[in-house]
Amino acid sequence: MGAGFSPKIERLIGAFRTLPGVGQKSAQRMAFNLLAEDRNGGRQLAEALTDAMDSVGHCDNCRMLTERETCTICDNANRDQSRVCVVESPADVVAIETNTGFDGRYFVLGGRLSPIDGVGPDELGLELLRDQISSGVVAELIMATSATVEGQTTSEYVADLAAGAGVAITRIAQGVPVGGDLETVDAGTLNQAFAGRSAIQR
């Protein structure tokens, strides 16, 4: 990998490279910084990573990341249980919570349908979502998937799941740029897109 790095340094650099957006140079810089200047920070990082990897799982209701059976949003009795916002990732939940006044629940898919990548309905927990739709509690499904081909396909698939269940299906307005992810959208655009959601025509 590197120019004469020891195996343990190469392993550390390789571990940093597993993070999205981190290339060889950035990984080297982070590894060298921890080893040369911040050993205590490195140990804290290692401890936090180990603890999170061992104890953080998915909420039984919405699939949000949490170390409990159900997340704090699902446990909040003041949230509107009848409105469920379907998103692709936990980062999307954070973006919506931070930038909008949405007070319903979420369902985190953990990705989007992509047969070429081996991502189908089972990988996205859609059987659980189907059960929730059938429960009679859900009155509106708000599709907040990304404005990509896969995101649109996923949105249409979920809409088909809810067909005939008496559930209103809406999609956030497309102020979100085509090909963009929610976590990178500015607060004003996201808030406007969310407020301007419209019904999906079946």
Residue 1 confidence (pLDDT) above 50? no
3-state SS string for 16-59 = HHCCCCCCHHHHHHHHHHHHHHCHHHHHHHHHHHHHHHHHCEEC
pLDDT at 192: 66
Rounded average pLDDT over 40-68: 95
Rounded average pLDDT over 123-138: 91
- In CATH, what class is 7-55? mainly alpha
| pLDDT tens for each residue of 61-119 | 999 999 999 999 999 999 999 999 999 999 999 999 998 889 999 999 999 988 888 88
CA dihedral 176→181→183→188, nearest 10 degrees, is: -10
Domain boundaries, the chain: 7-55, 65-199
Identical fold for domains 7-55 and 65-199, yes or no, is no
Fold of 65-199: Dna Topoisomerase Vi A Subunit; Chain: A, domain 2 (3.40.1360)
Distances (CA, A) of 83 to 74, 86, 122, 138: 12, 10, 23, 6
* Helix, strand, coil shares, percent, the chain, to 5: 45, 15, 40
Higher pLDDT, 164 or 105: 105
